[in-house]
Amino acid sequence: MAPPRTPATSTTARLRSVRESTGLSEEELGVARMYAAPHVDASAATGPLSGTEILVKDLQQVEGETTGFGSPAHACTAAADDAVVRHLLSTGASLVGASVSSQFGATVYTEPALVGGGAGPVNPVDPLMTSGGSSSGAAVAVARGIVDIAHASDGGGSIRVPAAAVGLPGFKPAHRVAGGPLPDPTAQGFIAADIALTARAYGITGGGLCTAPHPDPASAVPLRLGMTTVPFHGDPGQAGPTSVDPRITAATTAAAALLVTHPRVAGVSPVPAPYPPARFALFAELMAARCASLPDPLGPMPRWLRNRGTQLTASDTAAAASAVSRLPDEVMQAWPRVDVVVTPMLACAPPPVGAFSALSSAGSPGLDFLAQTAWTPWATLWNLTGWAALSVPLVPAAPGRWPVSVHLGAVGDRVDAATLLALGAHLQAAVADLVAGDDAAAEAFTCPGPGDVEALGFRPVRSGRLHAHPHGHGHGHGHGHAQAPGHSQTEDARDR
């Protein structure tokens, strides 16, 4: 485990060093602002993050500090710590600053210039690639070595997507999808530099993470894996699912095969899509409904989501909430004999900065939404069910070559968090053994240059018109959370 920081390796010193070596601004390095003094809870000195300096996502409210909600237009000084911040303090963490987020966490990309801000976080893998969203600041700050652990949140992929975009693991813990008229698909968590630090951040022990290379196979129930590379989500008007980069399909298939070498894994078998694409429109309505109260001014995508949300009736949202409540049972019926499902994390390498927002800027926010959905068509299922999920980069990131990440999603509570992380650690070790000394093999698990989102085939085909479904957005990615100023809890606006 990483030792506590010393003054010589404080976040401030690391940030200064990285700024000098890269020439990038704090915002380009993922840091929205640093606090004049750390926020700590002296009574939590023995917590799992005791002595660890972390950044807080810029959707949360820290007493006396500015919260920007991803936009200078909404910056305000917090009167009190919100519930998420109180929990972070209870872990013993030292809160030293805020990380950049997309506006209200409503998009899978983070481009502050769209809402009157400066430059967004620069992807260290390739500056031409998007760093994802909405927790992109957290991901970039960790990838740059400014902090080892950063707070993040995930309402549809917002931890897992940006982590994958910069070549880091991303874990969304199991969470309760709260009931009521608007179920909340958001989980609070962290992005950390590696799987062992991820386990530490969440206080996870066992599963062979720190004490042994594998769990004891004699004392554990065998695990059954399912695998698919067919997208779950997209426009119901399409003739079929959107596409996946064939390099990612091949790497995911190889990863599933390598997981069989884990002593607890009994085998891997193909699984079908858990529900028809049309079902996703109901879930999308729920995401849009959560954006209905976002305040002006808004960037193009959050504004479109809000407008879609305000058009929904009470019966619309009730139907969406009911569909979400039934989802876990329906998925478990579709996947009755698997414990973990393996899919790609992203359908192509991170596309160029501006690839999504250009669609909104050209007057087609519905296409922007569909493009985001096509890029991240798997992760949201685990937000809507509340089940744990992990994205795993198969090889270390290298400049100019994006490492393919796969997604390991628990089915119900059939595996615990420690086991899921142990599977991820085993997979990384197995790939490392396979590619050791073989550059050609290593390249099979990477993609050069930005991805081509147009090649995913997200544009509708029926009658040539766009079927602009009102979902929060393809991720949630939250991706993010739709959180308005004055709210004490973030609400993910995305559905990935």
pLDDT tens-digit profile of 236-262? 667 678 999 999 999 999 999 999 999
Q: Where is pLDDT greater, at 471 or 200?
A: 200
Residue at 405 is within a domain: yes
Residue at 1 is within a domain: no
Dist. CA 447–CA 482, nearest whole Å = 32
| Burial (CB count <10 Å: 0-12, 13-18, 19+), residue 243 | middle
Residue at 479 is within a domain: no
Q: Are 477 and 376 in contact (CB under 8 A)?
A: yes
Average pLDDT on 325-351 reads: 96
Q: Where is pLDDT greater, at 114 or 102?
A: 102
pLDDT tens-digit profile of 396-454? 999 999 999 999 999 999 999 999 999 999 999 999 999 998 878 889 999 999 999 99
**Would you state the pLDDT for residue 277?**
73
Q: Where is pLDDT greater, at 485 or 376?
A: 376
Confidence category of residue 488, pLDDT binned at 50, 70, 90: very low
**Would you state the pLDDT for residue 462?**
59
Domain that holds residue 66: 7-456
Residue at 247 is within a domain: yes
Dist. CA 150–CA 212, nearest whole Å = 26
Q: Pairing state of beta strands 223-227 and 94-99? A: unpaired
Count how many Cα atoms sit within 13 Å of the Cα of residue 332 in the half-sphere of its side chain: 13
How would DSSP label each residue in 12-51? Answer: HHHHHHHHHHH---TGGGTEEEEEEEEE--GGGTTSTTTT
Q: 1-10, 70-79, 291-300 — which is least confidently predicted?
A: 1-10
Dist. CA 442–CA 449, nearest whole Å = 16
**Would you state the pLDDT for residue 94?**
97
Average pLDDT on 291-319 reads: 94
**Would you state the pLDDT for residue 475?**
37
Contacts of 264 (CB under 8 A, 6+ apart): 214, 215, 217, 220, 221, 222, 223, 419
Q: Are 235 and 469 in contact (CB under 8 A)?
A: yes
Average pLDDT on 38-67 reads: 95
Confidence category of residue 493, pLDDT binned at 50, 70, 90: very low
Residue at 478 is within a domain: no
Residue at 496 is within a domain: no
Radius of gyration of the CA atoms of the chain, in A: 21
pLDDT tens-digit profile of 140-174? 999 999 999 999 999 999 999 999 999 999 999 99
**What pTM was estimated for this model as a whole?**
0.92
CATH number (domain holding residue 137)? 3.90.1300.10
Overall number of domains in the chain: 1
Residue at 209 is within a domain: yes
Residue at 302 is within a domain: yes
Q: Taking all residues of the chain, what is their mean pLDDT, rounded to a whole number?
A: 88
Average pLDDT on 55-68 reads: 98
Dist. CA 332–CA 176, nearest whole Å = 17
pLDDT above 70 covers a percentage of the chain that reads: 87
Dist. CA 302–CA 379, nearest whole Å = 20
Handedness of CA 371, 376, 377, 379 (dihedral sign): negative
Q: Where is pLDDT greater, at 467 or 455?
A: 455
